[in-house]
Structure 1
Amino acid sequence: MYYAHSNGSNLDDWQLLIDHLKNVANIASDLGKDINLSSQARTIGLYHDVGKYSEAFQKRLHGSSTRVDHATAGAIELKNLMNKANPVIGTIFAFCILGHHGGLPDYGSPIDDLSENTLCARLKRKENLEDYNAYRSEMEEIKIHDLINIRLNPITKSGAFSISFLTRMLYSMLVEADFLDTETFMKIEEKPRGEYDEIDDLVRIYNQFIKQFEQPQTFLHRTRTKILKECLEASRQKPGLFSLTVPTGGGKTYSSMAFALNHALLNNLKRIIYVIPYTSIIEQNAALFKGILGFQNVLEHHSNFDWKQSMDFEQSDDEELSTKLKLASENWDIPVVVTTNVQFFESLFSNKPSRSRKVHNLAQSVIIFDEVQMLPREFIKPCVYSVAELVMNYSSTAIFCTATQPIIENFLPEKVKRPIELVKNPQQLYKDLKRVDIISLGKVTDDELTDWLNHYSEILCIVNTRKHAKGLFSRLQMENRYHLSTLMCAVHRREVLKKINSHLKNDEVCRLVSTQLIEAGVDIDFPVGFRALAGLDSIIQAAGRVNRENKNDKGMLFVFEPDSPCIKRIPAYIQQGADVARKILRDFAEDPTSLDAVHAYFKELYDLHDPTISFDRENIIGCFEKPGVMDAEFDFRTAAEKFHLIDNATKSIIVPYSDKVYELLDEVKISLKPRKFLRDLQPYTVNIFEQEFNALQNLGKIDVYNDTVFVLNDFKHFYSDQTGLIVPDDNSETAILL
């Protein structure tokens, strides 16, 4: 008897290896069925653990401490099996099996040493592996012609990036199937997965909710209703690539979800994935969708998420619901996911099994990219390429939503058509919804700016660096003054926004100085705003926080060029955007928020850059597309190491903003599985750059838990209830700018 997993000392409780292989094959086959990859996924599942047939591995299950490479055997067998018929498909299968524990490797080179961890090196190890041929007596024969079917032909002929993406899809199905079968066998705890409402039920609920908008009373609401109806009408189209270009305050959140749900129902798509640029703004959209569609149907997945806090009072003790949502975060097997650019794209380019589990669930989905202009310029090409793959080859729909639409077609593969606009006349919408005049002030000193800010009783000021924000905040009159930046933990920011909205609702004095985190998607409405010169997209987003509900005839946004001792220098990417915006503000002075102005801005901005490097700075696509290469010579590991939308040179510090933090830290110290508690601590973290971290550490203000968890130990003196974490000698303008 050959076993896959042990469970106690009684062999009757162990899982037979052939049962595990067949289970994984069947689960993977089922996962691949709807996108016609069933036979390929099944084969990979069947072969993934044949190395466990070795005597050495069976001894390990019985207590031997000798490490055994059990993944290489199946990769070698399938590669050899496919070499004559289709070597590229053989390499795809080998990648998946080799990576199902340690992660997808780099291809390497045929001259690689056996000790290296590349695909080429590991495929040469057969003579070094323990004999595993016993698998032949228990496994059925593979029919090669079933593996080279009509489904694979267009993908394998459409280019290397497409083949690499196919590899990721099959890999995702394998690791998901392996996780699920192992989880079922181990039965560590009953796993309450699935059992969500169907898409047709969610469509009925949502369409009933939006009926309240059918009889609008004001011009603004009539325009929003028009946008909503046009999105509903457009939902009848076949899956594809779309844009939703709507001015700020045009109701694109409601409208895009209306399109997505109805489009999913009509095209038999499985889920909606709503992708947002910042964790700082995700809570309000997630809360909105949970309130309409039900907490149990909506997964909020990002780094600052607290499962218990996300549920309402009656549900806060529902352990099964909380557990179900946590499990759904592993694979996104839920009708609606609200997530971030970082979580979405870094999962797509990850080589690790845990993050790759969700990738197959991106197929047959409607994916909404809110504030798409916030995609980092230096990664925009690989991001757009991956979205195009989901649309072209995996029956998904993608919608790029924003008031400031970048020229996405510049970054699409040649064979992909430009996005189809969901609304009929965006140009007219921009004229109809113009609620703010933008006025350029030129250079303004901090003294002059302070006089302006204190002159108005309700005022918003957005600047480019957190040091400038802190300096201006200290100059405001004391009554109801507020500050927002990422030096404040997420829980703190949430509390401040709640207070601000209360003041504005009651027409009370309220002055806010913020970094740009306030701009994208935050539902807030000041009558007057000031914006430090930046990119035109940032200026227009800032204007979207002014006169948002059209309570005044015209709001005013003053754009100024700061002359401040708080600013040593401006980072290059902000300076470039500001330089182009200065020209656009001059050339389109009558209406710099118009579509023509936005198009001119992005065209000039893109023309400043070398297109071969600036939009794929780390050459991610080059990890997969290599001139003159015949095999699937992909560098998955290298791409994963390079693909980070947020600079990795930061450290996370936990700040004890509430007593709950100490309770969770106590659990971290004693728990065998501290990850659960670390996840609950995320809303209390602040990210700072290494030099700032070192300054705090040198002062002895950081405690270390479990070697990797850093906690501020002097909250009283180094965390302000107004401005957040106090960083000594904070001269780093290029640090966290939000």
Structure 2
Amino acid sequence: MITFVEIIPELEDLLPATAATPTYLGHTSQRANVKDETLTDHVRLVHKYFGHLAKAHDLEAVVDNLITTLLASYGLSPERFTEVGSHIKKLFVAALAFHDFGKTNPNYQRQSLSNLEWPGGEHPVPFYPSKGHSELGAFLYVHYFLPHAFGQPEREVKSLLMQLTFGLSYSICQHHAKGQFELADYGKRKMQEWYQPQWFNQVKYFIELYGFDPTPLPVNRWDKWTGTVLKLVELANPAPYALHSLIKLNFSLLTASDYLATSDYMNQTPLDDFGVIGDTLRQKIVDKAKSSVDYNAAIFAAAADLDFELTFPTARTNDNLNLLRKEMAVEALRTLDRYPDDRIYYLEAPTGGGKTNISMLVAARLLERDPTLNKLLYVFPFTTLATQTLGALKEVYGLEAHEVAEIHGKASYQSVKEERERTEVDATYGSEREDHLRYLFFHFPVALVTHVRFFNWLTTHWKEPNYVYHRLAGSVVILDELQAYDPKHWAKVARYLDHLGRHFNCRFVIMSATLPKLDALLPREVRGTYSFRELISDAQRYLRNPNFAGRVQFEFDLLYDERGNRRTISLEDLSGHVREQAENYRRGTNQRGVFVIVEFIFKLSAAQFQRLFAQDDYFDEVHLLSGTILEPQRRLIINRLKRAETRLCRVLLITTQVVEAGVDLDMDIGFKHVSLPDSDEQLAGRVNRNVKKEGCRLWLFYSGDDPKVIYGNDFRYQHLAKKRNQDSLNHQELHKSLLRDKSFNELYKHVFGFINGLEDTPGLKDIITYERHLQELDFVKAHEEFQLIEGRNETVFVPLRIPFAVPGSTADSIDLLFTPDELSFLGGLGVDVTGDTLDGGEVFTAYLNVIHPPEVEDEKRKRDFIRDQNNYRRMAAILSRFSFSLMSTKELLFHLVQFCDTDKSAYGYHYLQHFREVYSLTDGLDQDKFDRGINNIM
């Protein structure tokens, strides 16, 4: 196929002559010493940044891959394949060239750019606003390329080229809008508008200006012609993911290149760091992974030693436990070395087996083997997991602050200014601009994000998050705990990951102790080219090994009677069992202290259970941890449980499901309200986490919290509920075997049956419908119908006082809740930072000042816009320490607003003005002040 380098000069030749009078400008600057930028210069600068991005992320190969897939089923000869593929590639690049061709609109030159070379008065144009340029550029693009599509001999090729011509013109039309929406609707509307004689006659001026053929198609047959085009555009393409990706990638590159080129001109500062892993950082990651920790050095040595054999010891000893961890890592590295070209790897390993460490070694090996891989992403369901893993990455890889970033709503803002001391005003602004670009375009070589953010990048139709889409190319992506989300999306996940692996040169490592093998959800014809490879060939040998399986014993006597029927236990009876078993454990292990965890589904039950221990004389400490507990209290509790002196105490931790996978705890025994088996297994991971204790047990119970409220639509829940209704005794045995034998694959096989339509479910219909949205380029539905977290959440801000720091996890240590930079930032906004606590009310007032900055002069607007954007990101992280989220319902909102300040609640948060009546730092939200029927708070 033709190359990007060959295409660009041909497109630039279409621009009006640079010596044309009046001059066509691209941008103007408020700086006195900066010359106006011509339209030609801007387009060339956009092409320059397009070239930089394409080189940094090897995007030419990605585009070639997508085009190859689009044409694969058409049976074209090699010559014809090259011809059509080259034209599609030209269409792709031309969208960037044409994106500002509409700036030749005299109204735009005079009114938007104040180009005085152009006379005043309105030039007649048929689009709105009359000074716009995006729609004109889209029209010129379609007008120039559509005749070529219409002249293709093959109906399928004709349809594809028309669809791409309109799809890529949509990138042009929307490059200053908030995002992309429905292409089908766009195509119908524009075809009906653009090629009506009245509309067309007003734009002939621009067609002739560029030297295009003004009558390339039979203008006397508009209606018939447009009808034919629309029918062809709507023909389905057999490669929906490739079609969708090509348009999304184009929109990402067009808007990113345009933004970076404009920023370059406005600030007279080129950008040359695009946040990738270069040779120096790559070598550091590889070397450190092999040497920074003695244990890992031994793993790499053993993996290379042909005489090192896997032994799978079963005797329960600490030495054997460490040997098993080593053998899992060695097997993973050896498998990777045997199958380096696979795209998706499973890492299934038991809790306590060192999955995170193995994943870091695997990622380092992937980076070592393939220099085209130049980004590393860790993707988690919970922000707490991201925070924990950040420390491990810094230790194992030796990463510095500017090389790795934790990107989520609770992560502190990371500024270049903190990394490199700047003193001059221009240098300070330079660092702020660099910060702005790094966060906007995600220019971080190594990053930790949430599942929600990652999959949003794959489907979003909004412009700003789509900036990142092109950066996915060449990424190593570690996906942790994917089973945490509704199985109805698993087929979409499987197909998106397979698509990215094949076309974007991505490598995925999917890891969990309860891992669904998603390749079972791919069509048979898709499997095989690149396999989903198991890094550990028979994970059951480890999952069932006594060193891991014996870590926690599941107990069912509180949950089932002898007939297999589910029991309902009162909270009072449960409290008695908790005390009894805590004492049994303490005596059996001859310890002074005991750590007990009791988990409920909903906060209301957890709070009621906590009250039973209000005057307790057995436990020394009783803590409540729920979704309404703020970050400072959560960290205080977790740190307290990690301190050596606390191990001498009898501690009861009462929680909701917020602790299952994401809180670093090591409890002795546990009690859990039954929900989903893999959820039960996740809580077991908080008991005997370090696999060094004996006699650790987890009792399952049912006290009335209805799992159906949360999991009613989950195929796992539906399958087990069906089994329970058919045969309670058989269901009991199934439940026990899942948890005792770690046979989660048996459960997942039934789930896959639901999804694939083998049972009476809408699973298969769902994926067919979803892929139709991709084929039709319905960007809105493609995004809305793939939401990992469905429903709306309400974020509540609590304006209480919060300390700067809490006691750390070791003696005499402290855990900073706010960084020095954050405190300095707040002080600059008028918040009192002279003591050791922050007033939430003052912090929220500062937030309001950030989102409603004072009016500024034109010459300061650009600087202040960037500063305001950076300040907003800083404030979002700070406000998260004062905030919690709730699942939104009408009933909840009705009660919540009674305690909130309505005026202050108009800016993204419910401001809990009267928090003293309904909230406390230690107990969270008091549901007794709400309707008793509201029981979906976790």
Q: What is the TM-score normalised by the length of structure 1?
A: 0.86
Structure 2: give runs of 5+ residues left out of the alignment.
1-22, 65-88, 115-119, 123-128, 150-160, 213-235, 300-317, 560-566, 583-593, 803-837, 854-867
Q: What's the secondary structure of 2:540's corresponding residue?
A: helix
1:58 aligned residue (109, 132, 146): 109
Alignment deviations for residues 136-171 of structure 1 (CA, whole Å, 9 cap, x no partner): 379xxxxxxxxxxxxxxxxx9751222112221222
Q: What's the secondary structure of 2:777's corresponding residue?
A: coil
1:682 aligns with 2:880: yes
Question: Considering only aligned residues, what root-mean-square deviation do their CA atoms show, in Å?
Answer: 3.8
Distance 2:781 2:193 in 1: 16
Distance change >3 Å, CA 126–CA 543, structure 1 → 2? farther
1:363 aligns with 2:473: yes
Match of 2:210 in 1: 136
Distance 2:172 2:436 in 1: 27
Q: What's the secondary structure of 1:307's corresponding residue?
A: coil
Comparing both structures, which one devotes a greater share of its residues to helix? 2
Distance change >3 Å, CA 512–CA 49, structure 1 → 2? same
1:73 aligns with 2:136: yes
Alignment deviations for residues 673-695 of structure 1 (CA, whole Å, 9 cap, x no partner): 36335423234321122432331
Distance 1:535 1:398 in 2: 26
Is the CA contact (8 Å cut-off) linking 1:256 and 1:368 kept in structure 2? yes
Letter in 1 for 2:134: A
Bigger Cα displacement from structure 2, 63-72 vs 339-348: 63-72
Match of 1:150 in 2: none
Match of 2:284 in 1: 201
Letter in 1 for 2:375: R
Letter in 1 for 2:282: I
Is the CA contact (8 Å cut-off) linking 1:108 and 1:121 kept in structure 2? no
Is the CA contact (8 Å cut-off) linking 2:473 and 2:506 kept in structure 1? yes
Alignment deviations for residues 394-448 of structure 1 (CA, whole Å, 9 cap, x no partner): 1111121111111412332441345210013311111222111111122222111
- Shift in Å at residue 134 of structure 1? 7.8
Distance change >3 Å, CA 181–CA 233, structure 1 → 2? same
Letter in 1 for 2:175: H
1:171 aligns with 2:193: no
Is the CA contact (8 Å cut-off) linking 1:192 and 1:324 kept in structure 2? no
Distance change >3 Å, CA 653–CA 120, structure 1 → 2? farther
Q: What's the secondary structure of 2:184's corresponding residue?
A: coil
Letter in 2 for 1:735: N
Alignment deviations for residues 18-40 of structure 1 (CA, whole Å, 9 cap, x no partner): 22211112322332341323965
1:421 aligns with 2:537: no
- Higher alpha-carbon Rg: 2
1:601 aligns with 2:747: yes
Distance change >3 Å, CA 426–CA 721, structure 1 → 2? same
Is the CA contact (8 Å cut-off) linking 1:48 and 1:74 kept in structure 2? yes
Is the CA contact (8 Å cut-off) linking 1:272 and 1:337 kept in structure 2? yes
Q: What is the TM-score normalised by the length of structure 2?
A: 0.68
Bigger Cα displacement from structure 2, 353-362 vs 711-720: 711-720
Equivalent runs, 1:220-299 vs 2, <5 Å? 220-236=321-337, 237-268=340-371, 269-292=373-396, 293-299=399-405
Match of 2:861 in 1: none
Distance 1:349 1:55 in 2: 37
Distance change >3 Å, CA 111–CA 12, structure 1 → 2? closer
Letter in 2 for 1:416: R
Distance 1:134 1:188 in 2: 34
Alignment deviations for residues 571-616 of structure 1 (CA, whole Å, 9 cap, x no partner): 5147537636985651364673434x21112223454568499787
Distance 2:45 2:443 in 1: 19
Is the CA contact (8 Å cut-off) linking 2:919 and 2:926 kept in structure 1? yes
- Shift in Å at residue 175 of structure 1? 1.6
Distance change >3 Å, CA 587–CA 508, structure 1 → 2? same
Letter in 2 for 1:686: F
Q: What's the secondary structure of 2:681's corresponding residue?
A: helix
Q: What's the secondary structure of 1:358's corresponding residue?
A: helix
Q: What's the secondary structure of 2:643's corresponding residue?
A: helix
Q: What's the secondary structure of 2:653's corresponding residue?
A: strand
Letter in 2 for 1:263: L
- Shift in Å at residue 569 of structure 1? 6.1
- Shift in Å at residue 61 of structure 1? 2.1
1:95 aligned residue (150, 164, 170): 170
Distance 2:707 2:326 in 1: 44
Letter in 1 for 2:796: I
Is the CA contact (8 Å cut-off) linking 1:379 and 1:615 kept in structure 2? no
Is the CA contact (8 Å cut-off) linking 1:299 and 1:325 kept in structure 2? no
Match of 2:184 in 1: 108
Equivalent runs, 1:460-471 vs 2, <5 Å? 460-471=597-608
Letter in 1 for 2:794: K
Match of 2:464 in 1: 354
Distance 2:344 2:240 in 1: 21
Equivalent runs, 1:130-529 vs 2, <5 Å? 132-133=206-207, 136=210, 159-187=239-267, 194=274, 198-213=281-296, 218-236=319-337, 237-268=340-371, 269-292=373-396, 293-307=399-413, 327-414=437-524, 415-417=526-528, 419-432=532-545, 433-434=548-549, 435-440=551-556, 441-442=558-559, 443=567, 444-455=569-580, 456=582, 457-476=594-613, 477=616, 479-502=620-643, 506-529=647-670
Is the CA contact (8 Å cut-off) linking 1:349 and 1:640 kept in structure 2? yes
Distance 1:568 1:733 in 2: 15
Distance change >3 Å, CA 567–CA 21, structure 1 → 2? closer
Bigger Cα displacement from structure 2, 714-723 vs 170-179: 714-723
- Shift in Å at residue 469 of structure 1? 1.9
Is the CA contact (8 Å cut-off) linking 2:678 and 2:744 kept in structure 1? yes
- Shift in Å at residue 190 of structure 1? 9.2
Letter in 1 for 2:210: R
Alignment deviations for residues 527-577 of structure 1 (CA, whole Å, 9 cap, x no partner): 11111111111111111111121222342111112247x999665147537
Is the CA contact (8 Å cut-off) linking 1:299 and 1:329 kept in structure 2? no
Distance 1:498 1:314 in 2: 32
Distance 1:624 1:590 in 2: 37
Bigger Cα displacement from structure 2, 458-467 vs 685-694: 685-694
Distance change >3 Å, CA 545–CA 282, structure 1 → 2? same
- Shift in Å at residue 332 of structure 1? 2.7
Letter in 1 for 2:491: K
Is the CA contact (8 Å cut-off) linking 1:366 and 1:396 kept in structure 2? yes
Is the CA contact (8 Å cut-off) linking 2:342 and 2:533 kept in structure 1? no
Distance change >3 Å, CA 130–CA 105, structure 1 → 2? farther
- Shift in Å at residue 735 of structure 1? 3.2
Q: What's the secondary structure of 2:350's corresponding residue?
A: coil
- Shift in Å at residue 641 of structure 1? 3.9
Is the CA contact (8 Å cut-off) linking 1:669 and 1:705 kept in structure 2? no
Bigger Cα displacement from structure 2, 340-349 vs 703-712: 703-712
Distance 2:415 2:44 in 1: 41
Distance change >3 Å, CA 11–CA 408, structure 1 → 2? same
Distance 2:605 2:435 in 1: 40
Alignment deviations for residues 457-513 of structure 1 (CA, whole Å, 9 cap, x no partner): 311112212222222222234632112222123343233222222268734322111
- Shift in Å at residue 515 of structure 1? 1.5
Is the CA contact (8 Å cut-off) linking 2:405 and 2:414 kept in structure 1? no
Match of 1:735 in 2: 936
Bigger Cα displacement from structure 2, 606-615 vs 17-26: 606-615
Structure 1: give runs of 5+ residues left out of the alignment.
139-155
- Shift in Å at residue 209 of structure 1? 2.4
Is the CA contact (8 Å cut-off) linking 1:463 and 1:532 kept in structure 2? yes
1:539 aligned residue (665, 668, 680): 680
Match of 1:147 in 2: none
Distance 2:370 2:486 in 1: 31
